[in-house]
Chains A and B, each alone.
Chain A
Amino acid sequence: MKLSIERGALLKAVSQAQSVVERRNTIPILANVLIEAEGDQAQFRATDLDIEVVDKAPAKVERAGATTVSAVTLHEIVRKLPDGALVTLSDDMTSGRLTVEAGRSHFSLATLPKEDFPVMASSEYSSNYTIPAPVLRRLFDKSKFAISTEETRYYLNGVYLHVADADGAQVLRCVATDGHRLARIDAGLPTGAEGMPGVIVPRKTVGELRKLLDDDEMEIAVSVSETKIRFATPDIILTSKVIDGTFPDYTRVIPTGNTRKLEVDANEFAKAVDRVATVSSERSRAVKLSLEEDRLVLSVNAPDSGAAEEELVVAYGDERLEIGFNAKYLLEIASQVDRENAVFLFNSAGDPTLMREGTDTSAVYVVMPMRV
């Protein structure tokens, strides 16, 4: 194999590959990226056995072929090469080394046989559709903060992507929760997505997917089966196993009868929460919300370190209410609001609270209060 490739294109391809590779793994070949050169392109493939990413880049191929080298080492080398450099990769069949050359730099890297590289078995996808990158970005960006890190509840360690019914219309929906907060984000159902099986997309896949979604003009091809999901752009194919478990029935968690309505500027609210929480050094800092007519007082009382209070002018017309929340949870949901005011709907100090953006019900958040 021998190919020449522009440094920028190589860096982009290799950085996606090396981020999929697990830092600590016991199978040497999984630390490697499979490089395949054919026609006028080079293909870079990496996997952790759960996720596989294939990245294509235009290259001048002098001799077709394939080999595998350490993804992290190759990435580090390419990263340190000067911008605009032309990089030549060539393998020497006899020494089993891959030579990397750029300008006056010369590297010789150990390889492992390409035959040992595990290629993810292809799957029969029952559902195929395309969706604009910004839509997919919104679905995952606004829900991923609520993904659980509790390893014992593995079925919560991802975002539940499924087709749901919202006010009589079918929508594409993402839900994530850890039992203390929940995010439910809807988007219009793309053609071809009807009948898509509901799948739990693992946290790591959500992170890798994000790197495909920066281009606003991009259309992402999504393919889903019961066990796998695939996201593809013309250059990159990301295939991932989905979490084998049943996502809990979240619908009963979302309160429908909450009537006490608070409307507040989300940005100001978040800043105030952040400020008052400063006095507490505890990891689960509790912020108390004291509501009365058109007035909200945020307070934190940390017996060991101090107390803080801040008043906000808000729209609130119901009877007095005192309710506590984990400051981090409040900040996270408030920062999801980007266009309009945040609307909170409370019931009592012990019941789940709902938050949405203005009157928009395509993104709702539920957060459990905290004893204060």
Chain B
Amino acid sequence: MTALCRDCLTLFDTGSRCPACRSPRIVAHSELCELSIAHMDCDAFYASVEKRDRPELADKPVIIGGGRRGVVSTACYVARIRGVRSAMPMFQALKLCPDAVVLKPRMALYAEVSKQIRAMMEDLTPAIEPLSLDEAFIDLNGTARLHGAPPAVMLARLVKRMKSELGVTGSIGLSHNKFLAKIASDLDKPNGFAVIGAAETPNFLHDKPVRLIWGVGQATQSSLDAAGIHTFADLLRWDRRDLHDRFGSMGERLWHLARGQDQRRVSARNPVKSISNETTFHTDTADPDLLDGHLWRMAEKVADRAKAKDLAGRVVTLKLKRADHRLITRRTHLPIATQLADKIYHTARTLHETLADKGPFRLLGVGISELVPGAQADLTSDFLDPGAEQRKRAERATDAIRARFGAEAIVKGRSLR
């Protein structure tokens, strides 16, 4: 079995310590030098960056998050030992860990560090697919000759470099596809290196719960539960067609995943599929005027981003979250793709008006999807809405004024509500 020392990067045959530097931090696997798809996940990223910049916090429980409706966005490992988890409401986290240092997130700083990590990954391969600021898929297939070392060595070198140059640690999952690489990176956290080989895949998955699958959330989980599917072993018993009939395209994917198969490529340029914006209110509201103001602001933000990316959408989505956290979404197709705040707003407003539920709501979001190039936006005007043409010209004029004098130079009255 091939083994790799994660400290001095020496490759050697089986052993519990590195023959060169005597380090016990080794990773050993029979397929170690053959696997090339990895998932890199930073350990408690935001908290690690804060601790790096403020060494006095090193052994204190640190929680990043905040706001009146705050939830924990990241908890350092000290806080995690006390039971604090991401997405936990702040009051609950503080009950578990009253001495925690709570810090407001400094997104600009994290984005900066993330960029530096990205640059280090780019030194290895262009086939990087970032999932967020602190995690990414890396495909090192075919780079062994270029680097003079197999992918496993280059990945160990990457996390070593992240630690020494940036002061943050990451965990590596190495496998033969994205699905398993993502699972692997979670097996040996923090500062870990886990491998799932092709040979062991069926045994590895057998008793694992299906919620391990990335993309299986609460809704899918409950429909899987209803079908009696809890583990991968349950999934294996299903016929491919039955899965498809019951779960649609998701069923097809489940069938492959049950067999440890995942053909998705690591692709740097995943096309944008939707543009959306949402806001959580300080206090729940059912006030139609207030909601309408939010609706406009969200529509305008979405339109701004669509225009900046030169994209337009054929579908408008309205998202509302009730006080009891139940989510309501409504979507509609447009005959002509749009990037205009006016069209997005009016469409979302109609969706809102036709809703039987009048609130109160805690969150409102607006989005567009089924995106097409901006050149195809708003090509035909609507003869049943003669004012639309005028409003479109007004919006283009507003955009021009803002481009010159700043975003605050001209705003709609309704955005001030």
- A residues in contact (CB < 8 Å) with B: 148-153, 156, 177-180, 182, 248, 253, 282-284, 286, 326, 352, 366, 368-371
Contact = CB atoms under 8 A, between A and B. Distances in A.
Nearest to B316: A152
Interface stretch (B78-86, B258-266, B281-289, B373-381): B373-381
Given A148-B335, A150-B334, A151-B332, A369 B380 contact: yes
Contacts of B334: 150
A282 B376 contact: yes
Contacts of B185: none
Contact of A152 (B332, B376, B381): B332
Contacts of A156: 384
Interface of B: 314, 332-337, 347, 350-351, 354, 372, 376, 379-385
B58 to A, nearest CB: 54
A198 to B, nearest CB: 17
A151 B333 CA distance: 7
Indicate the member of A152, A179, A370 with the most B CB atoms within 10 Å. Answer: A152
Contact of B379 (A152, A182, A366, A370): A370
B354 A149 contact: no
A368 B335 contact: no
A363 B383 CA distance: 19
Contact of A366 (B337, B376, B380, B383): B383
Contact of B383 (A153, A179, A283): A179
A282 B347 CA distance: 23
B383 A352 contact: yes
Given A149-B335, A369-B380, 14 more contacts: A150-B332, A150-B333, A150-B335, A177-B384, A179-B384, A180-B383, A283-B314, A283-B372, A284-B336, A284-B372, A326-B379, A368-B383, A370-B379, A371-B379
A153 B354 CA distance: 10
B335 A152 contact: no
B188 to A, nearest CB: 45
A360 B7 CA distance: 87
B351 A180 contact: no
B333 A149 contact: yes
Lowest 6 A-B CB distances belong to which pairs? A179-B382, A152-B350, A179-B384, A370-B379, A253-B383, A370-B380
B384 A253 contact: yes
A323 to B, nearest CB: 12
Nearest to A371: B379
B316 to A, nearest CB: 9
24 contacts: A149-B333, A149-B335, A150-B332, A150-B333, A150-B335, A151-B333, A152-B347, A152-B351, A152-B354, A177-B384, A179-B335, A179-B382, A179-B384, A179-B385, A180-B336, A248-B384, A253-B383, A283-B376, A284-B379, A352-B383, A368-B380, A368-B381, A368-B382, A370-B379
A371 B380 CA distance: 7
B337 A284 contact: yes
A179 B382 CA distance: 5
A24 to B, nearest CB: 12
Nearest to A303: B375
Nearest to B370: A283
Contacts of A182: 383
Contacts of B347: 152
A360 B347 CA distance: 37
A151 B334 CA distance: 9
Contacts of A150: 332-335
Nearest to A366: B383
Contacts of A253: 383-384
Contacts of A370: 379-380
B366 to A, nearest CB: 14
